Amino acid sequence: MIKKNKKWLTVTLVLLVAGALFLFVRNQNKLSDQVYVEVKSVQGPLGWGYNILTDGKIYIHQEFIPAVPGKQGFKTEEDALKVGRKVISKIGQKELPSITVADLKEMGIGYDSLAGR
């Protein structure tokens, strides 16, 4: 009777360890599929811009305001970061990371509409 109980206990313990190992490996694979994305401001000769970094490496380098004529930097660091966060949001929603004039207006981003003309 004791040998039979030990056998069941051993089988149960092996199954629990195997199940825990399976869940651990599965969760590790899920984590490795994730990418850490962040926005950082950059200041250049035209004003403020932003970098979108994935796992610490530059994915998008944007020195000027997208979607407007000419090359003009953002007037403030916060404007650049706001647009960078919008780009990250679009990436997260599996959309193209492009910014439109409508996006800029919605975010209250000011720019000179006559620049570059």
Does the pTM of the predicted model rise above 0.85? no
Position 114 in a domain: no
CA distance 117 to 3: 90
Q: Are residues 53 and 96 in the same domain?
A: yes
Count of domains for the chain = 2
Q: Are residues 7 and 63 in the same domain?
A: no
CA distance 70 to 13: 68
Q: Are residues 94 and 42 in the same domain?
A: yes
| Domain carrying residue 3 | 1-34
Phi-psi region of 98 (alpha: psi -120 to 50; beta: other; left: phi over 0): beta
Distance of CA 105 to the CA centre of its chain: 23
Position 80 in a domain: yes
Q: Are 109 and 115 in contact (CB under 8 A)?
A: no
**pLDDT tens over the chain, length 117 residues:** 676 677 766 666 666 666 655 666 666 555 556 788 899 999 999 999 999 999 999 999 999 999 998 899 999 999 999 999 999 999 889 999 899 999 999 999 988 875 544
